[in-house]
Amino acid sequence: MKKIYISLIFILFTFNLYSIEVGGYITENTTWSPVNNPYLVTENIHVDAGVTLTILPGTEIKLSGATHTTWSEFNQNFWLYSGDSVAKMFWVDGRIVAEGTEQDSIIFTRMQNDPDYCWGCIYSPEQAEMSIFKYCKFEYSAGIGIYVSRVAWHTLSFYNEMAIVQNCDFLNYRGGLSVGYATKYTEVLHNKFSYDSNLNSLIQSSHITDLQIYSNEEGFKPALIAGNQFPNRGFIFLSSINFVNNFNSISDICIGSINGSYFYDNTITYNQGWGGITGGNSGDSLYIKNNQFIGGNKGISIDYAYVEVIDNYFEDCRITISHSSLSKIINNIIVNNPEPTSNPAISGNVDVITNNIINNCGVGLSGSGATQFSNNIISNNHTICSFLTDTNIIENEIIICNDEIFLHTPSVHGNPIFRNCILDFELPDGCIDGGGNIWVDSLQVQTLFEDMQNGDFHLIEGSLAIDAGFNTPYYHPFDLDYNKRVWDGNGNGQARIDIGPYEYGAPTLGSIEGYTYNPTTGEPVDYVLIKINNQPGEFTFSSGSGDFQYKLPAGVYDIYAERVFYEDVIEYEIEIFDGQITQVQIPMQGTVDVEEHTIIPLANNFNLSNYPNPFNPSTTISFELATKDAKNAKLEIYNVKGQKVKVLSPSLCHPEFIEGRGERKYNIVWNGTDNNNKPVASGIYFYKLNINNNLVANNKMLLLK
């Protein structure tokens, strides 16, 4: 039989202290307040389906724990027997909304102040609603055995496919956060995972993962994991994810099937075990860009999946991509890899290896074939490569100041071709001089770069590398600094590509700069994935403040923006000019009701459109509505700054009846004026259809005067 009880315990010290004891079933919407601190959980809490437990800022919850110094104690104290366990936990069939503040966090901790004691976890089964935790602190949890095939090891164990966890601290736990078996809506932002000396040795040695995200449910956006701090612990992703701006001092990021995942702007240090980012399955695609990998062994170790590794920095670690012949390694810097000479800085049979710097490592690269193997610098390494094959055409490379050519001899298979390279060694037997090569001595090497000793490989005026390359059709369209490729650097009237990853004297590309924001609130929207022409490898993310920048060659592009809990946006026909900045403001309409904390269902059958588009001076906006919705509907028009300029009412129109559908077609003319009937300026405008103040459809139009 379900029960709930709340009793007061009076404790007399030198002052009166009240606490509230809680346990059993919560059968109606309930609010916990700091007025009743602390809440002592002496029986497992069950939040019934359809019920919300709201926890206010500053509330403190202490759960009765149990000893966990041996595995037999875990089996005795941390398993549910007849619906109860010795160590207490939350079972949430409804939802918890626990939103603290930066000043007043919500605390979940053990009741006993003893390092051998832990409480269980907060567990949401498959049919539970979405819980929200913000500015919470979780301490000393060890998980709960639910039934034979399921142990909820993590402090927050969500099996209901969705969660919002922001600005929380996880301290001294067996597992941090898990979302499975599939994810629909998941956002994990600005959390901190950490340990101190108060964690008993068994919990520490049996640590599971800081974070575990299971497979993404088809049709839903990837989980967003951004702005978090992780300690020296591994975690597992078996899902499509956007992993952005995290700081990780970790042993492993183990990945399974993560098709379409993005790792961007993270710092990943001390990569032990399997490696910094490791795994991948056949058919997956993975995009790793603008990260720092520092220390340990393998920075990236991917099997079978298609991978693009672009604009990353590797120090004391390496890149290994196996069984993925179409992958790309572009614009990376790999330095100070002291690995034994059997482990190259870059290894794997990939398609494109270009614009990289490999400096002061054991072995530069494995020498496997690449369609595009050009414009790299391989310098100051113990060994240039482990072997070369006749699939290699090695062009526009600078290969100098290395101790040895090969790890083992003979290491030439077939007849690889060297073309338009700068070299300080004789080509080994079997290699072909394809022409245009420049041989230099130690003195000439010093005249090539700005400051080679300190790792600055930019070309100086008069460098032998300027306009000396071979203009292969495979060259990358910009250099390591995102300057134009194929430029007349020596001023002789003939533009040629430079040898190496930098193009001397070339102008910078054009760029888009902008801001992602919520047009309803005006607040920035952070960590939005921005793709150019919807190409997955041409991407960036907006920052935690909503700002973004992306450099592009001159041209006209469509800009795609997407993020979990927001509608997708497309900005069409954005023109980019060389050396110029084009401003792009991207309004992101939320799909979560901030008051009710529920997902807003967005319909796609309103046929919202306008004609003509572009227009001057007026356009007709058309959409379809059921008659019952017309009186509660309104059409709002916004400018690119998110400012509302006009509100139009469908109820004032005379709709056309749509035969057989029970709906009517509405046509509203907008004459390009604001609510004060003043003409608005030329530019892009957004029109949004709302019913009962909920957004149901939106679109974009262009006013040209």
- Joined together, the tokens standing for residue 500 give 């190496």
Angstrom CA distances, 668 to 8, 188, 622, 690, stand at 62, 42, 6, 14
* For range 378-407, the mean pLDDT: 89
Instruction: Give dist(CA 615, CA 381) in Å, integer.
Output: 61
User: What element of type H or E holds 201?
Assistant: helix 201-205
Q: Which residue has the higher pLDDT, 680 or 642?
A: 680
Choose the most confident range, by mean pLDDT, from 256-270, 478-492, 629-643: 478-492
pLDDT digits (tens, 9 = 90+) for 269-315: 865 555 678 888 888 889 999 999 988 777 888 888 899 999 999 99
Burial of residue 518, with CB atoms counted within 10 A of its CB: 0-12 exposed, 13-18 middle, 19 or more buried: middle
Burial label, 477 (beta-carbon count in 10 A; 0-12, 13-18, 19+): exposed
Q: Which helix (H) or strand (E) holds 77?
A: helix 71-77
Predicted local confidence at residue 4, as pLDDT: 43
Higher pLDDT pick, 605 / 360: 360
User: How far apart, in whole angstroms, are the C-alpha atoms of residue 96 and residue 54?
Assistant: 6
Nearest CA among 221, 332, 241, 345 for reference residue 286: 241
| Tokens standing for residue 532 | 């150019």
644 contact partners, CB below 8 Å, separation of at least 6: 636, 637, 638
Q: Where are the alpha helices (DSSP H) in 10-70?
A: none
pLDDT in tens, 85-125: 999 999 999 999 999 999 999 999 999 999 899 999 999 99
Residue 396 has pLDDT above 80, yes or no: yes
- 199-249: pLDDT as tens digits: 778 887 788 888 888 766 667 888 999 999 987 666 677 778 899 999 876
SS3 253: strand
Q: Is the pLDDT at 340 greater than 90, yes or no? A: no
Q: At 255, give phi and psi (nearest 5°).
A: -125, 145
Q: Three-state SS for 135?
A: coil
Residue 694, C-beta contacts closer than 8 angstroms, at least 6 positions apart: 593, 600
* pLDDT at residue number 339: 62
| CA–CA separation, 626 and 628 (whole Å) | 5
Q: How far apart are the two ends of the chain, measured CA to CA in Å?
A: 72
- Report the pLDDT value the prediction gives residue 154, as an integer from 0 to 100: 95
561 with 516: CB under 8 angstroms? yes
The reported pLDDT for the residue numbered 121 is 98
Q: What is the mean pLDDT of the chain?
A: 87
Tell me the pLDDT tens digit for each residue of 408-440: 777 888 889 999 999 999 999 999 999 999 999
pLDDT at 367: 67
131-147 burial code (b ≥16 CB/10 A, e <16): bbbbbbbbbbbbbbbbe
Q: How many CA atoms are closer than 13 Å to the CA of 175, on its beta-carbon side?
A: 24
Q: What is the pLDDT of residue 601?
A: 56
pLDDT above 70: residue 559: yes
Beta bridge partners of 4: 24
At 323, the pLDDT band (50, 70, 90 cuts) reads confident
HSE at residue 230, side-chain half, CA atoms within 13 A, is 35
**What percent of the chain clears pLDDT 70, i.e. is strictly above it?**
88
pLDDT score of 133 more than 60? yes
Report the alpha-carbon distance of residue 341 to residue 43 in Å, rounded: 59
| Residue showing tokens 């941390």 | 78
**628-to-573, 604, 653, 696 alpha-carbon distances in Å:** 38, 18, 14, 15
- CA contacts within 13 A on the Cβ side of 588: 25
Question: How does pLDDT run across 483-528, given as a tens digit for each residue?
Answer: 999 999 999 999 999 999 999 999 999 999 999 999 888 899 999 9
**Local confidence band at 6 (pLDDT 50, 70, 90 cut-offs):** very low
DSSP string across 259-285: TTEEEES-EEEEE-TTEEEEE--TT-E
Confidence bin at 19 (pLDDT 50/70/90): confident
pLDDT in tens, 448-467: 999 999 999 999 999 999 99
State percent of the chain over pLDDT 90: 58
Average pLDDT score over residue span 159-183: 89
Per DSSP, the residues of 514-541 read EEEE-TTT--B--S-EEEETT-TTSEEE
Locate 64 and state its tokens: 């009765």
Q: What is the pTM (predicted TM-score) of this model?
A: 0.83
**Residue 71 — very low, low, confident or very high, per pLDDT cuts 50/70/90?**
very high
Contact, 571 vs 561, CB < 8 A?
yes
Residue 539 contacts residue 512 (beta carbons within 8 Å)? no
Whether the link from the prior residue into 614 is cis, omega within 30° of 0, is: yes
How far, in Å, CA of 214 to CA of 221, rounded?
13
What value does the mean pLDDT take over residues 309-331?
90
pLDDT value at position 93? 96
Burial classification of residue 557, based on how many CB atoms lie within 10 Å of its CB (0-12 exposed, 13-18 middle, 19 or more buried):
buried
* pLDDT band with cut points at 50, 70 and 90 for residue 257: low
Task: Indicate the residue type of 29.
Answer: N
Strand partners, 185: 162
Average pLDDT over residues 24-50: 96
pLDDT tens profile 541-555 = 999 999 999 999 999
The Cα 186–Cα 564 span in angstroms is: 7
Say whether 387 sits in a helix, a strand or coil: coil
Can you tell me the distance from the alpha carbon of 157 to that of 195, in angstroms, rounded to the nearest whole number?
Answer: 19
406 or 367, higher pLDDT: 406
336 pLDDT above the threshold of 60: yes
Kindly state the tokens that stand for 45.
Answer: 């809490």
pLDDT above 50 (res 661): no
3: pLDDT strictly greater than 50: no
What's the chain's length in residues?
A: 705
Beta carbons of 392 and 413 less than 8 angstroms apart: no
